[in-house]
Each structure stands twice: as C-alpha cells, then as structure tokens.
Structure 1
Amino acid sequence: MSATLHVIFGPSGAGKTTYAHAFARREKAVAFILDEWMAKLFAPDMPDPIEYDWMIERVQRCEAQIWSTAAGVLATGTPVILDIGLLRRADRARVREIAAAADLPLQFHFVTADVEVRRARVAERNVVKGDNFAIEVSPAMFDFAEGVFEHPSPEELAGAIVSESE
C-alpha cells in the first residue's frame, strides 16, 4: 500500500503550519512546509522591499526540491504532508494531477478561519516570532495573499478534511 500524500491549504494565517506539524506528529508523517524552506534558504538574502519576481523564482526552486524529496519519502511508505501555499484552484488541481499520475493516495486538508482572526494571528506572529514563525508577513503581504487566494468550491472540498480554527 502506498503512503498518503496529505496536502494542507487555506488562506494566510489560518493555522496551516500548526495543523501540519500536529498532524505530522500524530500520524508519524514527514511535513514539508514551504515557508520554513524559504526562511532557511533565502530570508537572509531577501530584498527590502520584497520583489515579486525574486520571491516567485525561489518559491519555484523550493517547491521543486520539496516534490523531489517528498517523492523519496513516499517511496519508503511514509506519509507526507505538504504545506506549500496552493492559493489558487489551478495550483490544487496541479497537485491532483501529479498525485494521479504517480498513483498516490491523496488527502486534501482545508484549514481556515475568519479573516479578522487570521489578520490578528499574523500580526501577533510577526511580533512573538514563536515556533511557527518563518517569515514576517506584512499587512500588505497579507492583503496580497487575500487577493490571490481562491476559496475552494463545494466540489473541490468533496472528500477534503475541513478544519476551522478560532
């Protein structure tokens, strides 16, 4: 039996990383958190102000390496958790296609919360810089992500595990 590919998605500040880490501990899975990779590999070199093209190029590099490493982990029979953004429906559809092509069991997890809860959570995380802090998300970055995020349709959520945090 193949290991399951668990894919976490939701809007900024919803609690995806907290959810992914807790799920990984509980299920003895390996979590791949894009923000953590970006922070470790590229944060020291990040231009200020952030440049979109600079960021996207590095996100794509990280995603390619995450997919490559995750494939090796899945091949051992160990479940994998991906928290790699997936703000747009097309991004999530691409993950479905990859999993189907590799004949991988796939489970989506939609993590969400009210926008004001998420906004406050991100502002607090920027100050506290606790366990789940990877990179500062400015109010402008939060608003940008809000504009890019495409809420899943009921069809897309069919079979997904939905978690609403407070």
Structure 2
Amino acid sequence: MPQIHFIEGPVGAGKSTYAKAITEKGSFSHIALDEWFARLFSPDRPQENFVTWYIERKDRVLALILNHAHDILATNKDVALELGLIQRAPRQALFRQLLQDGIKFTVHILDAPLGVRRERVRLRNTEQGETFSMIVPDHIFEIASAMWEPPDDLELEEYEHIFPTQASGNS
C-alpha cells in the first residue's frame, strides 16, 4: 500500500537534503511546500507583516499539495511531503484526518542544534544551491525556529515516527 512520508523539523534541520536522498533511493515523488510557495507567491512577498501574509497562503498551498499527493498515491507510488508542519496542533489534525481517510503515513523528524541550523540557512541564502527555494532572513529564521514544536509523547505513540541520524547538508 503506498504511503506518505512526512519530512518534518525546524528550518535548517536538513529536511530537503534528506528528502532528496530518500526519494533517490525509492520510487516516489518529493513535494516541498517551500518550492511551490516560492513559485506561486514570492513575487508578491511583502517587506512587512510577512508571517501573517505567509500563513494566509500556506493553507491554500497545503490543500493543493495534499490533493496532488492523493493523485500520486492513486498511482501506487509513495510520496515524500516536506510541508513545514512546525506546530503540533495543525500537524496532529492533518494526521488524524489522514488516518480517518485510510491513508498510511510515516513521519520523519529531523533536527540539529540552533547554531548549526542558522549557519545552514545563511549559507543556503548565499549559495542558492539545490535545496534553495527562497531567502530566509535571520529574523524569519528566529521566528520559525521559536515556533517549532517537536512531537510530544502522545504524538509519538499515535503515529509512526523515524528519527534519521542524517543531519548534514541544507534543508
């Protein structure tokens, strides 16, 4: 039965690098919210009130990506979703809905120390290499890092989780 592999963790944890590596090993697709978001909305990105602007658009992109993921699952292929589900309550709500819909999934949680993540993001901003989607200024990095809520004991018991030792590269 095909399944979704959620690749989650704070900004700069190595999610994109990890997702690309596992999709190269398996026969499934990788969809990253940041890539879709950047292509759809970056030209309209405001200088101020970025967080409010981002949240309003993120839900629309998530719905589109999840719909596309269902289409991929229907072809009997797995899909790796990198959705930036950094807050526990919305993450759990989505996971519960997927369980009700009978969709199998595994959650891959990556993390790294704050200083390491900050430097990765700064380097990614400068190099704009393979895992680059959009500039993440320091103040946005700090906001997103503060918002990250790792899985609690209940979430760990309720859903299948993998904690890869991979924490190198850029996310």
Would you say same fold, with TM above 0.5? yes
- Give the match's secondary structure for 1:108: strand
> Helix, strand or coil: the match of 1:13?
coil
Please name the residue that 1:150 is paired with. Answer: 149
Instruction: Give identity over the alignment, percent.
Output: 36
* C-alpha separation in 1, matches of 2:107 and 2:9: 10
Q: Match for residue 136 of structure 1?
A: 135
Segments of structure 2 that go 5 or more residues without pairing to the other structure are none
Cα distance in 2 for partners of 1:141, 1:112 equals: 18
**SS state at 2:110 partner:** strand
1:73 is the counterpart of 2:72: yes
Partner residue, 1:161: 162
CA displacement at 1:106 relative to structure 2: 1.1
Instruction: Measure, in 2, the Cα distance between the counterparts of 1:29 and 1:50.
Output: 36
Q: CA deviation at 1:94?
A: 1.7
Q: Distance in 2 between matches of 1:78 and 1:7?
A: 14
Shift of 1:50: 4.9
Tell me, yes or no, if structure 1 residue 95 matches structure 2 residue 88. no
Q: After the TM superposition, list the runs of 4 or more consecutive aligned residues in structure 1 that deviate by more than 3 angstroms.
A: none
1:61-99: CA deviation from partner (whole Å, max 9, x where unpaired): 111100111111111111011110110111221222122
Once the two structures are superposed, residues 27-69 of structure 1 have per-residue CA deviations (whole angstroms, 9 ceiling, x without a partner) of: 1111110000011111112112353232112111111100111
Paired with 1:146 and 1:53, the residues of 2 have a C-alpha distance of 16
Instruction: Name the structure 2 match of 1:123.
Output: 122
Contact 1:20 1:31 in 2 (8 A): yes
- Alpha-carbon distance in structure 2 between the residues aligned to 1:94 and 1:75: 22
Q: TM-score, normalised by structure 1?
A: 0.93
Matches of 1:51 and 1:161, distance apart in 2: 32
Aligned residues: 165
Deviates more, 1:89-98 or 1:74-83: 89-98
- Name the structure 2 match of 1:23: 22
Return the TM-score normalized by structure 2.
Answer: 0.90
Displacement, 1:155? 4.2
Q: Is the 8 A contact 2:92 2:155 kept in 1?
A: no
Query: How far, CA to CA, are the matches of 1:139 and 1:10 in structure 2?
Result: 18
- Mapped to 2, the partners of 1:139 and 1:59 lie a distance apart of 20
**Residue type of the partner of 1:156?**
E
Q: Which residues of structure 1 form unaligned runs of 5+?
A: none
> Do the aligned partners of 2:10 and 2:86 also contact (CA within 8 Å) in 1?
yes
CA RMSD after TM alignment: 1.4
